[in-house]
Amino acid sequence: MSEDLVARGRAVVTSHEAYVQAGNLAAIMTNMAPDIVVMVPDSPLIEGAAACRAMYAALLEIGRWKFEHDYHGAHAEGAFVFLHGVARGSLTTPDGLSQPVSNNFQITLKLNRDNRLEAWRVGFAPDGG
Protein backbone atom coordinates (compact mmCIF):
# COMPACT_ATOMS: atom_id res chain seq x y z
CA MET A 1 0.00 0.00 0.00
CA SER A 2 2.72 2.53 0.87
CA GLU A 3 4.51 2.00 -2.47
CA ASP A 4 1.21 2.61 -4.27
CA LEU A 5 0.61 5.77 -2.25
CA VAL A 6 4.13 7.05 -3.02
CA ALA A 7 3.52 6.38 -6.74
CA ARG A 8 0.25 8.30 -6.51
CA GLY A 9 2.06 11.17 -4.78
CA ARG A 10 4.68 11.32 -7.51
CA ALA A 11 1.87 11.33 -10.10
CA VAL A 12 0.35 14.39 -8.41
CA VAL A 13 3.72 16.16 -8.61
CA THR A 14 4.11 15.15 -12.27
CA SER A 15 0.69 16.61 -13.07
CA HIS A 16 1.70 19.76 -11.18
CA GLU A 17 4.79 20.10 -13.40
CA ALA A 18 2.59 19.89 -16.52
CA TYR A 19 -0.01 22.35 -15.18
CA VAL A 20 2.66 24.91 -14.28
CA GLN A 21 4.36 24.52 -17.66
CA ALA A 22 0.98 25.05 -19.36
CA GLY A 23 0.31 28.10 -17.16
CA ASN A 24 -3.03 26.60 -16.08
CA LEU A 25 -3.79 28.15 -12.70
CA ALA A 26 -7.14 26.37 -12.27
CA ALA A 27 -5.51 22.98 -12.87
CA ILE A 28 -2.61 23.82 -10.53
CA MET A 29 -5.09 24.45 -7.75
CA THR A 30 -6.78 21.05 -8.19
CA ASN A 31 -3.70 19.52 -6.53
CA MET A 32 -3.78 21.81 -3.49
CA ALA A 33 -5.46 21.11 -0.16
CA PRO A 34 -7.75 23.89 1.10
CA ASP A 35 -5.47 24.30 4.15
CA ILE A 36 -2.17 24.17 2.24
CA VAL A 37 0.86 25.89 3.74
CA VAL A 38 3.80 26.88 1.52
CA MET A 39 7.14 27.89 3.01
CA VAL A 40 9.40 29.97 0.76
CA PRO A 41 12.75 31.44 1.89
CA ASP A 42 12.68 35.04 3.08
CA SER A 43 8.88 35.24 2.82
CA PRO A 44 5.97 34.92 5.23
CA LEU A 45 4.10 31.62 5.25
CA ILE A 46 1.59 31.24 2.44
CA GLU A 47 -1.44 29.80 4.22
CA GLY A 48 -4.58 28.49 2.55
CA ALA A 49 -5.74 27.92 -1.00
CA ALA A 50 -6.50 31.58 -1.74
CA ALA A 51 -2.99 32.69 -0.78
CA CYS A 52 -1.51 29.75 -2.71
CA ARG A 53 -3.55 30.73 -5.79
CA ALA A 54 -2.25 34.30 -5.52
CA MET A 55 1.34 33.02 -5.24
CA TYR A 56 1.00 30.88 -8.38
CA ALA A 57 -0.76 33.67 -10.26
CA ALA A 58 2.21 35.94 -9.49
CA LEU A 59 4.70 33.25 -10.55
CA LEU A 60 2.88 32.70 -13.84
CA GLU A 61 2.97 36.45 -14.51
CA ILE A 62 6.79 36.37 -14.30
CA GLY A 63 7.06 33.97 -17.23
CA ARG A 64 6.88 30.38 -18.39
CA TRP A 65 8.18 27.77 -15.97
CA LYS A 66 9.45 24.33 -16.90
CA PHE A 67 10.86 21.95 -14.30
CA GLU A 68 11.06 18.37 -13.10
CA HIS A 69 11.45 16.93 -9.64
CA ASP A 70 14.39 14.68 -8.83
CA TYR A 71 13.48 12.67 -5.72
CA HIS A 72 16.04 11.97 -3.04
CA GLY A 73 13.52 10.29 -0.79
CA ALA A 74 9.88 9.29 -0.63
CA HIS A 75 7.72 7.37 1.80
CA ALA A 76 4.12 7.05 2.91
CA GLU A 77 2.73 6.79 6.39
CA GLY A 78 -0.98 6.56 7.10
CA ALA A 79 -2.79 9.16 5.00
CA PHE A 80 0.41 11.08 4.15
CA VAL A 81 3.10 10.93 1.48
CA PHE A 82 6.45 12.63 2.10
CA LEU A 83 8.62 13.56 -0.89
CA HIS A 84 11.91 15.48 -0.98
CA GLY A 85 14.65 16.25 -3.45
CA VAL A 86 15.62 18.90 -5.99
CA ALA A 87 13.46 20.55 -8.66
CA ARG A 88 15.37 21.78 -11.70
CA GLY A 89 14.28 23.58 -14.83
CA SER A 90 14.03 27.00 -16.38
CA LEU A 91 12.09 30.24 -16.34
CA THR A 92 11.54 32.02 -19.64
CA THR A 93 10.42 35.62 -19.25
CA PRO A 94 8.02 37.34 -21.66
CA ASP A 95 10.97 39.03 -23.42
CA GLY A 96 12.36 35.57 -24.28
CA LEU A 97 15.21 35.45 -21.78
CA SER A 98 15.67 32.03 -20.18
CA GLN A 99 17.41 31.27 -16.93
CA PRO A 100 17.95 28.04 -15.02
CA VAL A 101 16.07 27.49 -11.79
CA SER A 102 16.77 24.96 -9.07
CA ASN A 103 15.51 24.47 -5.54
CA ASN A 104 15.34 21.87 -2.83
CA PHE A 105 11.82 20.80 -2.00
CA GLN A 106 9.95 18.95 0.69
CA ILE A 107 6.33 18.11 -0.05
CA THR A 108 3.78 16.45 2.20
CA LEU A 109 0.63 15.28 0.48
CA LYS A 110 -2.43 14.03 2.34
CA LEU A 111 -5.44 12.00 1.36
CA ASN A 112 -8.66 14.01 1.22
CA ARG A 113 -12.20 12.72 1.85
CA ASP A 114 -12.40 11.51 -1.76
CA ASN A 115 -9.20 9.46 -1.34
CA ARG A 116 -7.28 11.89 -3.58
CA LEU A 117 -3.83 13.12 -2.63
CA GLU A 118 -3.41 16.89 -2.32
CA ALA A 119 -0.37 19.02 -1.54
CA TRP A 120 -0.71 19.95 2.13
CA ARG A 121 2.69 21.24 3.31
CA VAL A 122 5.31 22.44 0.81
CA GLY A 123 8.72 23.92 1.49
CA PHE A 124 11.34 25.28 -0.88
CA ALA A 125 14.96 26.30 -0.33
CA PRO A 126 17.77 27.32 -2.68
CA ASP A 127 19.55 24.33 -4.18
CA GLY A 128 22.97 24.04 -2.62
CA GLY A 129 24.41 22.03 -5.46
CATH of the domain at 107: 3.10.450.50
Q: What is the pTM of this model?
A: 0.93
- Model confidence pLDDT, tens digit, residues 50-91: 999 999 999 999 999 999 999 999 999 999 999 999 999 999
Cβ-contact 73, 86 below 8 angstroms: no
Domain that holds residue 22: 2-126
Strands (E), 7-61: 32-39, 46-47
Count of domains forming the chain? 1
